[in-house]
Structure 1
Amino acid sequence: MTNHRPAASGCPVGLGTTDLVDPTLYSGGDPHPEWARLRALDSLSWHQVDADRGFWSVVKYADTEFVLRNTELFTSERGTMLELLGMDDPAGGQQLVVTDPPRHTIMQARLKKALALRAVDRQRDMIRDLVLELVEPLGDGGVFDFAQAMIEMPMSVTGTMIGLPRADWPWLTRLTAACIAADDPEYQEPGGKEATLATAHRELFVYFQDLVSFRREQLSDDLLSVLISTRFEGRHMSPSEIVANCYSLLLGANVTTPHAPNFVLAEFVETDVLRDWAAHPEVHTTAVEESLRWSSPVNHMLRYATRDLVLHGTEIAAGDAVVVWLGSANRDDDEFPGGETFDIRRKPNKHLAFGIGPHYCVGHSVARVTIKTLFEELLDRYEDFQSAGKAERMVSNFVSGYKHVPITARRRRRTAAG
């Protein structure tokens, strides 16, 4: 017996269901009980957003993996965020994240090589220096907003790798935060959400257009030069393609990298987790992977069915929107026994924080090396971590993260030998 898409209505289907589109659910509520309820169903659930728009929610690990791997059945080219539900993304076919294989594979090749682990390994000293600079104020003894430092971290690292002037980093950080959390009053312009997005997108795209024009004659070994000099389909990338992918690189870094550390410090600051981790540096790798699974910084990914099919006992029609909830898939007990438990020694841990399949995050090595370096230095240099106020979540249905995590700590005492 298959489930069918219900007739449209003006509100989410099902009395008493939680509105997964509501950004305040992720800033002041908890989506996990609803995700657990949906995982227990024997079919997908339909979420009606308004009279004209709705989507199927995919919450199980196996179903999420199936959707993300099968790009011929589920296209990303119409858009990948609920923000654009029912509209076509203007960057479709130009920006990697909204381009399907085989074009995506060809476009991505050089960038993927430039961001491979071997290439990132050569940047470890640079990453370590930037991380140490960001967390240095923690040793002063006063209140330190850990989340704000982490929000700055990906711009420091990725900005250096792209070749962006350091003076522009704070402004670019603010603009990218507005793009991923335009519902958040802290990032919103006076004109509201739509005005915030319009302004942030315009300023970022104009900035990169000007930078690309300037840098065409001054190529080096940075990522911007890689994009400018990339050839595919017998030509170089167009200016609009270069700009769209610069934007995507920054956005991706700002979504993924800060929030795994933020979750750890916000939710486990006064527990044995940090003490255990610090006492056993051999768990750095598994602990970082667990922080990524637990936080699932990219909250969802949107796809559209390219043809009629059946998934998890549900008939999906060609053109139907399908939303995979990564935070749910990463707590699925079928894949992660005791999925609601944070385990720094969890292994195996095939989480989906970076996605899976052809659109697996191209910057995953940078994010992993950065987060691991952060915890290596943080736990080696500081101890006695304490909360210094209420942690605050971002108001966003796309990014799962904290924007403020006030803490205190003290420097570790070094012995003469250490």
Structure 2
Amino acid sequence: MRLSHPVDPDSVDLDSYDLSDSRLYGDGDPHAVWHAMRDREPVRWQPVNDTLGFWSVTTFEDADLVLRDHTRFTSQRGTMLFLLGKEDPARGRQMAATDPPRHNRMREPMQRALTSKRVERYRDAVTEEVRRVLAPALTEEPFDFAEAMMTLPMATAGTMMALPRETWPRLTRLTAMSIAPDDPEFQEPGGPKATLETAHRELFAYFHDILRERRDNLGDDLISMLLDMEIDGRRLETGAILSNCYSLILGANVTTPYVPTGAMAEIMGTPVWDDWRTHPELLGGGVDEALRWASPANHFMRYALQDVELAGKQVRAGDAVVVWLGSANRDEAAFKAPFTFDIRRKPNRHIAFGSGAHYCVGHTVARMTLKVLFSEMFATFEEFTPAGEIQHLHSNFVAGIKHMPLVARLRRDAVDRLAVPAH
């Protein structure tokens, strides 16, 4: 998705855009649409067909309210647009599709397993994987930065779930099919519906086999923790464990790859790159700004449990409400100069990880991985320059770049440290 700067909001014909259409995010300019909506109609009804539609929420204040208030907006009828008008089969079993208080009881042991201190145990493994995916850049020849980043999440998810390394590439492909079934590059011959069905079938079959093996060989990995988890005095059933494995692997592959590509598209070749690279104390703040800037999870859906007024619009009980996170994170009312990438931004209350009870449980993993990545990039490379056309993912769920050819120039001290021939 293009991370564009605003245009005159009055020049945008809102009636001509369908925010559920994945082509808008692959080929169009959704930020221009969102900017116009925030200015003219911050909560707007989006028809999908004669019987289905949803309310689009584009401001930070309203988005935060919808995501936080589980008493008025439920997650249990589906959290992504591909489930619009359908019942979510994972409701009440998967954390993402379960409301408090049961959600809290499911989340608590996972949250303990993913504290910053426990996640730090994986830093060396993540550092090794980061160096592996960046290795092609050491030749100072063109390489596809976005493709490299798509392999990165398995460094943490694969390790923390104790998944066989030889299966990581296939899992990466299957999750891409899950989040972008409309994208021609990941689409199966039968079209988007067949692509989604294939991805789900293969992922659930894969984890079913993993569970069968893991039950007799529990460890300290996340899958073993799910197998050993009790909610209300009962262990999770197999279907619930499978749903949560799917959610974990999907979450990892949604967030991590698309933050560095979004950031690099904006800052490479600018003073911001040099400023960030030469101020290591700004690493964490810069990563949060990259998260705000990229907002890789493009939307979350909720259903109204009662009649609610939002921005002067009457949302009826049962209506679907879609929060556009990238729009909320560019809201002029919530962020000073929101279309400026500011590594010193304070405060930075972005909602790239969601908000409220469903705030991403893996945020510690994502932040650690991104800090390691940018630290390695800053220590190794002087600069990056474009080497070809950027291609954007066709997906209404993930805002991302799928191809980004770059050429890197090594730092002189990195050439010596890594014993890489100078060019």
Q: One fold, TM greater than 0.5? A: yes
SS at match of 1:46: strand
**4+ residue stretches of structure 1 with deviation over 6 A?**
415-418
User: Partner of 1:388 in structure 2?
Assistant: 387
User: Partner of 2:288 in structure 1?
Assistant: 289
Are the structure 2 counterparts of residues 166 and 15 from structure 1 closer, same or farther at C-alpha, using a change threshold of 3 Å? closer
Deviates more, 1:192-201 or 1:28-37: 28-37
Conserved? CA contact 2:177–2:186, under 8 Å: yes
Shift in Å at residue 82 of structure 1?
0.8
- Measured against aligned partners, the alpha-carbon deviations of 1:182-212 in whole angstroms (never above 9, x if no partner) come to 0001000111111111111000001101110
Q: Which amino acid counterpart does residue 74 of structure 2 have in structure 1?
A: T
User: Partner of 2:269 in structure 1?
Assistant: 270
User: Partner of 2:45 in structure 1?
Assistant: 46
Are the structure 2 counterparts of residues 79 and 398 from structure 1 closer, same or farther at C-alpha, using a change threshold of 3 Å? same
- Measured against aligned partners, the alpha-carbon deviations of 1:266-296 in whole angstroms (never above 9, x if no partner) come to 3332222222211222211111111100110
Conserved? CA contact 2:287–2:370, under 8 Å: yes
- In the alignment, the residues of structure 2 paired with residue 377 and residue 246 of structure 1 have an alpha-carbon distance, to the nearest angstrom, of 29
- In the alignment, the residues of structure 2 paired with residue 410 and residue 243 of structure 1 have an alpha-carbon distance, to the nearest angstrom, of 44
Conserved? CA contact 2:299–2:397, under 8 Å: yes
- In the alignment, the residues of structure 2 paired with residue 417 and residue 262 of structure 1 have an alpha-carbon distance, to the nearest angstrom, of 27
Number of aligned residue pairs: 405
User: Partner of 1:323 in structure 2?
Assistant: 322
Are the structure 2 counterparts of residues 302 and 127 from structure 1 closer, same or farther at C-alpha, using a change threshold of 3 Å? same
User: Partner of 1:84 in structure 2?
Assistant: 83
User: Partner of 1:24 in structure 2?
Assistant: 23
Are the structure 2 counterparts of residues 245 and 416 from structure 1 closer, same or farther at C-alpha, using a change threshold of 3 Å? closer
User: Partner of 2:137 in structure 1?
Assistant: 138
Are the structure 2 counterparts of residues 321 and 142 from structure 1 closer, same or farther at C-alpha, using a change threshold of 3 Å? same
TM-score (norm: length of structure 1): 0.94
Shift in Å at residue 415 of structure 1?
8.8
Are the structure 2 counterparts of residues 416 and 56 from structure 1 closer, same or farther at C-alpha, using a change threshold of 3 Å? closer
Shift in Å at residue 121 of structure 1?
1.6
- Measured against aligned partners, the alpha-carbon deviations of 1:50-97 in whole angstroms (never above 9, x if no partner) come to 000011111110101100110110001110111111111111111110
- In the alignment, the residues of structure 2 paired with residue 271 and residue 385 of structure 1 have an alpha-carbon distance, to the nearest angstrom, of 10
Deviates more, 1:349-358 or 1:279-288: 279-288
User: Partner of 2:421 in structure 1?
Assistant: none
Conserved? CA contact 1:296–1:400, under 8 Å: yes
- In the alignment, the residues of structure 1 paired with residue 137 and residue 288 of structure 2 have an alpha-carbon distance, to the nearest angstrom, of 24
In the alignment, structure 1 residue 110 sits paired with structure 2 residue 109 = yes
User: Partner of 1:126 in structure 2?
Assistant: 125
User: Partner of 2:339 in structure 1?
Assistant: 340
Conserved? CA contact 2:125–2:155, under 8 Å: no
Conserved? CA contact 2:14–2:37, under 8 Å: no
RMSD: 1.5
Shift in Å at residue 16 of structure 1?
3.7
In the alignment, structure 1 residue 221 sits paired with structure 2 residue 220 = yes
- Measured against aligned partners, the alpha-carbon deviations of 1:125-175 in whole angstroms (never above 9, x if no partner) come to 221111111112210122111111111100121111111000000001000
- In the alignment, the residues of structure 1 paired with residue 322 and residue 232 of structure 2 have an alpha-carbon distance, to the nearest angstrom, of 31
- In the alignment, the residues of structure 2 paired with residue 122 and residue 362 of structure 1 have an alpha-carbon distance, to the nearest angstrom, of 17
- In the alignment, the residues of structure 1 paired with residue 274 and residue 245 of structure 2 have an alpha-carbon distance, to the nearest angstrom, of 39
User: Partner of 1:5 in structure 2?
Assistant: none
- In the alignment, the residues of structure 2 paired with residue 239 and residue 416 of structure 1 have an alpha-carbon distance, to the nearest angstrom, of 50
Task: For 1:4-15, list aligned pairs within 5 A.
Answer: none
Q: Which amino acid counterpart does residue 58 of structure 2 have in structure 1?
A: V
- In the alignment, the residues of structure 2 paired with residue 317 and residue 393 of structure 1 have an alpha-carbon distance, to the nearest angstrom, of 35
Are the structure 2 counterparts of residues 43 and 351 from structure 1 closer, same or farther at C-alpha, using a change threshold of 3 Å? closer
- In the alignment, the residues of structure 1 paired with residue 272 and residue 362 of structure 2 have an alpha-carbon distance, to the nearest angstrom, of 27
Shift in Å at residue 384 of structure 1?
2.6
- In the alignment, the residues of structure 2 paired with residue 305 and residue 386 of structure 1 have an alpha-carbon distance, to the nearest angstrom, of 46
User: Partner of 1:193 in structure 2?
Assistant: 192
TM-score (norm: length of structure 2): 0.93
- In the alignment, the residues of structure 2 paired with residue 342 and residue 15 of structure 1 have an alpha-carbon distance, to the nearest angstrom, of 27
Conserved? CA contact 2:175–2:199, under 8 Å: yes
Deviates more, 1:125-134 or 1:89-98: 125-134
- Measured against aligned partners, the alpha-carbon deviations of 1:185-243 in whole angstroms (never above 9, x if no partner) come to 10001111111111110000011011101110101111111111111111111111111
User: Partner of 2:6 in structure 1?
Assistant: none
Unaligned 5+ segments in structure 1 are 1-13
Conserved? CA contact 1:42–1:313, under 8 Å: no
Shift in Å at residue 312 of structure 1?
1.7
SS at match of 2:396: coil
Q: Which amino acid counterpart does residue 71 of structure 1 have in structure 2?
A: H
Q: Which amino acid counterpart does residue 256 of structure 2 have in structure 1?
A: T
- In the alignment, the residues of structure 2 paired with residue 44 and residue 196 of structure 1 have an alpha-carbon distance, to the nearest angstrom, of 32
In the alignment, structure 1 residue 68 sits paired with structure 2 residue 67 = yes
In the alignment, structure 1 residue 202 sits paired with structure 2 residue 163 = no
User: Partner of 1:350 in structure 2?
Assistant: 349
Conserved? CA contact 1:227–1:237, under 8 Å: yes
- In the alignment, the residues of structure 2 paired with residue 348 and residue 213 of structure 1 have an alpha-carbon distance, to the nearest angstrom, of 46
- Measured against aligned partners, the alpha-carbon deviations of 1:95-116 in whole angstroms (never above 9, x if no partner) come to 1101111111101111111011
SS at match of 1:385: strand
Q: Which amino acid counterpart does residue 131 of structure 2 have in structure 1?
A: L
